[in-house]
Amino acid sequence: MRVDINPFYTRASDNIDSEEKFIKLFSPEILSIFKEHPIWHAVNVLRSSPGGGKTTLLRMFTPKILASINAGKTHDDHSRELFSAFTELGVFNERGEVQVAAALTSFTNQYSTLEYLNLSETHKIRLFCSLLNTRIILGVLKSICLTKELNYPYELQRVNFTEEQNLKVPAHLRNIKNGFVLYEWATNEEERISDQIDSIYAETSEGKGVDSFYSLDLLSPSNLKIDDMPLDIKIVVMLDDVHNLSTAQRGFLVKAIIDKRPAVNTWISERLKALTMEELLSEGSNQGRDTNIIILENYWAKRHIQFEKFAKSVANRRVEMAFENNMDFATFLSIKMSSKYQSIIKDALQKIESRVSQKYGNSNKYKPWIKSMEALDEDDYEKLIEWRALEILIYRDAHRPQQTLAFDDLEVEQLEHQNGNDVKVAAQLFIHDEFNIPFYYGFSTVCRLASSNIEQFLNIAGELFDLVQTNNIKRIINSGHQLALSPEKQEDVIKKIVNLRWKELNTNVPLFDEIKKLMDAIGQFCYSETFVPNAWNSPGINGIAITMSERNDIKDKILKDKNHQYYKLARCLTICIAYNLIDFKLNYKCKGKEWMILYLNRIYCAKYQLPLNNGKFKEKTLKDMLGWLNNGINIKPKFNYNDA
C-alpha cells in the first residue's frame, strides 16, 4: 500500500489494517445520508459507481472500528466528532456503549463461479443460499463476540437461541441452541461448500440445502440470549459488492431480501453496473416503506456545497498524514495566473479591447458600457474576463431580433444586471478556447470534475498532490520554492487524467466503440452550442434531454425488444449510466413538458472544453441520437472570434 508515499492514493475501503488509520481517513459528512432515511428496521440499499464510498461507509459500522472510536474519543478530536455523529444515529448509547453488532460480508467471484459450474439450477441456488447463510451466521456470531467482548469463538458457548420453534429455520438447525455448536456446524458447512465450488469435477447430485436466507431470521436479536439475558443490541447484516454476483444470483438475492423484510437490519451495497437496464432508468423508484435506496452520487449531486465540504475534509485528512503542519489542500491549487501568462493575458486583453472598440466603439448606445470597462481597476486577468463578457453582452444586444425603439444610451446598471456569473464563466471558457489560457483549475473545479464521486475526486487530487510533494522536496534546496501549483500545471494534470481515463474506458466499458461515438457526438454537440457568439446558454451546456415519454418508451418497450430500431441506442445509454459516463435527472419540467436530462460526467466535460456547472441542456430526440450513433455528428463550423 502506498499510504506513506501519497495518502491520496490510499482508499479507506482498501485493506487498511489499522483501525486508527482507517478512522483518520474517514470524514463524517457522509453519515448525513442517514439523516434523510430511517437507518434502522429497513433494508438499506446503497448504490454508486466504483469509488462512491459504499464500502468505507459500511466498514465504519463494524465492531473493531466502533471500539476504536469509543477508545479514541477521550483523547482525539476526530474520534470525538465521529462518536457524536454515531451517537446521533443510535450506534452508541448515552453511556457510550456500542448498540450495534454489524457483520460485513463481501461477495467475491467465488459466488458467481457457482453460476457457471455444470450443476442444475436448483443445486446452484441451494449452494448459493447455503454458502451465504453460513457466512452471515459466522459473521454475526463473530461480531456479537467483538461487540460484547467475548472470546471468539470459545465464548460463543454463552450465546443461546431461544426455545421457540422457528419454522423459517431448516429442520436440521432447529435443534442447535448454542452459539458455539452453530459456529462449528457453519465452519464445516462453509468448507464443504467452498471445496465443492472449486472442484474440477462436475457434481451430478441435486445436493441438499435450502433456498432461502433463513440466517436473517435465526439471528434476530429476539431469538438470541447471552448468559440467558436477552440480547440488547441491534444486529446488522451488510452485504457488500453485490455487483460481483451473476445477474441471476443478484436478482434472486435482492428480491428475496426485499420481499422477506428480514428480522435483522440488512444493508446491501452494489455498483450501478449491476442494475438491470430497467432499474438503471428508474432512479430508485421501487423505493418502499421498508426499503431505502440511496444512490450516493445523486445524493451529493443535489448538495454540491456539502459535497465540496466533504471532499475538503477528505483531502485535508490526507494532507495531514503527509505534512506535519495543518494545511488546507485548497491552498495548494493556486487560482492566480503565473507570470508565464501575464504577457499572454496582456495581449489578449489588448486584442479584445480593440475588437470591442472597433466594432461597437462608435455606437453611442454602447459607449457607457465600454467606458465603464475602461475605468476598471482590477488585475489584467479579471479585466480580460470583464471585457470578454462585455463583448458577449453587446453581441447579444446588437443581434436581438427586435431592437428597442428607444435611442437612449444603455445604463451601466443594466450591464451589471446582465453580466452575471454565468456570462463571466462563459467569457472565461471563450478566453480559454481562443487564447489557451487555463480554465480547469482550483479546488472548486476539482470538486466539480469529481461528478459527486469521492474516488474520482481523490484520483485527481492525488495526481495534483504528487506535484505538491515534489515541490516540498524542492524546498529543501530552495526554501522559497512554492508549494502551490499554478493554474496551467493543474490544467495539464487534469487533462492528462481525462485522456488516460478515456483511454481506459476502451477496455473497461462494453460496446465502447459505439459508446465513444455517442459520447463524442454529445460532447461535440454541447461544444457547438456552447461556443456561439451570444453565449445564449451561458455558461454553456453539458447535457442533452429527451422527453419523459421517450424515456418511458426506452424502459417499457425498446429495451424489451432486441429487434427494435432503437435497441442499440437504449443499450448504449444504459451502459453510459451504469459506468458513470452520464448522470441523469428524471421528470424535469421545462417548456410545458417533462424531460429526462442526460449530463456528461463532469470529468469528460474537460475533454470537450465544456463548463462544469450544473443545469444547461438542449432537447434532442431519440431519432437525433440514433443518427449520431450510426453516422457520428455533423457539426456546424465554429464561429471565428474576430468575425463574431
Partner 1 sequence: MLRWENYFMKSDVQFETFWKSYQENGKPDILFIMGMGFDPRTNLGIESIYSVRARERRDTLLLRYYRTAEEKDIPPIQPVQEHIDRLNDFLHEAGHAAPQIKDVVLRSEDDKSIASINATYIIPDFSIFEKYTDIIIDISAMPRGIFIPLINKCLDLVDQYNSINAVKKNLHVIVTENAKLDSYIEDRGTDETATYVHGFRIKEIGKTDEQKEVWIPILGENQTSQFDKIKLELNPVETCPILPFPCDDLRRGDKLIIEYQERLLNDNNVELKNIVYADESNPFQVYRLLNKTIHRYNDSFKLLAGSKIIVSALSNKLLTVGAFMAAYEKKKEGLNIGIMHVESLKHELKAEFEEQQIEIAKHNKLFEIWLAGAPYYEQ
Site residues for partner 1 per CB under 8 A: 1-2, 4-5, 14-15, 17, 108-110, 112-113, 115-118, 138, 183, 186-187, 190-191, 194-195, 197-200, 202, 246-247, 506-508, 510
**What letter represents residue 345's amino acid?**
I
Q: How far is the CB of 275 from partner 1 (least distance, A)?
A: 12
Shortest distance, CB of residue 226 to partner 1, whole angstroms? 20
Smaller CB separation from partner 1, 506 or 631: 506
Nearest distance in Å: CB 348, partner 1: 40
Alpha carbons 331 and 334: distance in angstroms, whole number = 6
* Shorter beta-carbon distance to partner 1: residue 118 or 205: 118
What is the closest distance, in whole angstroms, from the C-beta atom of residue 188 to partner 1 in the complex? 8
What's the min distance (Å) between Cβ of 112 and partner 1? 5
CB of 71 to partner 1, least distance (A): 23
Question: Pick from 395, 388, 389, 393: which is nearest to 351 by CA?
Answer: 388
CA diameter of the chain: 97
Question: What contacts 127, CB < 8 A, 6 or more positions away?
Answer: 114, 119, 193, 196, 197, 207, 209
Instruction: Give the nearer residue to partner 1 in terms of CB position, either 130 or 445.
Output: 130
3-state secondary structure of 460: helix
In eight-state DSSP terms, residue 335 is -
Q: Which is nearer to partner 1, 197 or 398 (CB)?
A: 197
How do strand 291-295 and strand 582-590 relate by DSSP bridges?
unpaired
Give the integer Cα–Cα distance in Å for 502 and 490.
Answer: 18
> Rounded to the nearest whole angstrom, what is the least distance from the CB of residue 151 to partner 1 in the complex?
14
For residues 600 and 582, is the Cβ–Cβ distance under 8 A?
A: yes
Measured from the CB atom, the residue of 48 and 428 that comes closer to partner 1 is 48
CB 499 within 8 A of CB 460: no
Nearer to partner 1, 120 or 199 (CB): 199
Strands (E) in 262-323, as ranges, are: 265-271, 291-295
Contacts of 438 (CB under 8 A, 6+ apart): 337, 341, 432, 487, 488, 490, 491
Comparison of 425 and 576: residue with beta carbon closer to partner 1: 576
Which residues are within 8 A (CB) of 200 and not within 5 positions of it... i.e. 6 or more apart?
Answer: none
The number of beta carbons lying within 10 Å of the beta carbon of residue 368 is 15
Task: Find residue 89's DSSP bridge partners.
Answer: none
- Cβ at position 95, least distance to partner 1 in Å: 31
| Residue among 268 and 425 whose Cβ is closer to partner 1 | 268
| Secondary structure percentages of the chain, helix, strand, coil, to 5 | 55, 10, 35
**Residue 278: exposure state from Cβ atoms within 10 A (0-12, 13-18, ≥19):** middle
- C-beta of 198 vs 206, nearer to partner 1: 198
Q: Where are the beta strands (DSSP E) in 32-125?
A: 43-48, 100-106
> Helix (H, G, I), strand (E, B), or coil: what is residue 478?
coil
- Least separation in angstroms between CB 579 and partner 1: 11
Residue 509 DSSP class: S
Q: Which three cell numbers stand for residue 330?
A: 485548497
Contact 466, 352 (CB under 8 A): no
Q: Does 539 sit behind a cis peptide bond, omega within 30 degrees of 0 on the bond before it?
A: yes
**Assigned C-alpha cell, 587:** 421528470
CB of 309 to partner 1, least distance (A): 29
Do you know the residue count of the chain?
644
In the complex, minimum distance from the CB of residue 193 to partner 1, in angstroms, rounded to a whole number: 9
Cα 263 from Cα 473, distance rounded (Å) = 56
C-alpha cell at 468: 505538491
Task: Give 183 or 435: the residue with its C-beta nearer to partner 1.
Answer: 183
Measured CA to CA, the distance from residue 307 to residue 301 in angstroms comes to 8
Which CB atom, from 17 or from 324, has the smaller least distance to partner 1? 17
Q: How far is the CB of 1 from partner 1 (least distance, A)?
A: 7
Assigned C-alpha cell, 604: 469528460
| Cβ atoms within 10 Å, residue 581 | 27
Are the beta carbons of 318 and 459 closer than 8 angstroms?
no
DSSP string for residues in 371-403: HHHHT--S-HHHHHHHHHHHHHHHHHHHT-SS-
Residue 366 has a CB neighbour count (10 Å cut-off) of 22
Position 214: which residue type? Y
CB 142 → partner 1: shortest distance, Å? 8
User: What CA–CA distance (Å, rounded) separates 594 from 585?
Assistant: 11
Give the shortest CB-351-to-partner 1 separation in angstroms.
44
Amino acid at 234: K
Nearer to partner 1, 273 or 424 (CB): 273
Nearer to partner 1, 118 or 402 (CB): 118
* 3-state SS assignment for residue 97: coil
Smallest gap, in angstroms, from Cβ of residue 104 to partner 1?
13
In the complex with partner 1, which residue's Cβ is closer, 190 or 320? 190
The radius of gyration of the chain from alpha carbons, rounded to an integer in Å, stands at 29
Report which of 470, 446, 468 is spatially closest to residue 459, judged by C-alpha positions.
446
Of 246 and 524, nearer to partner 1 (C-beta) is: 246
Instruction: CB nearer to partner 1: give 239 or 532.
Output: 239
Provide, rounded to whole angstroms, the least separation between the CB of residue 131 and partner 1: 10
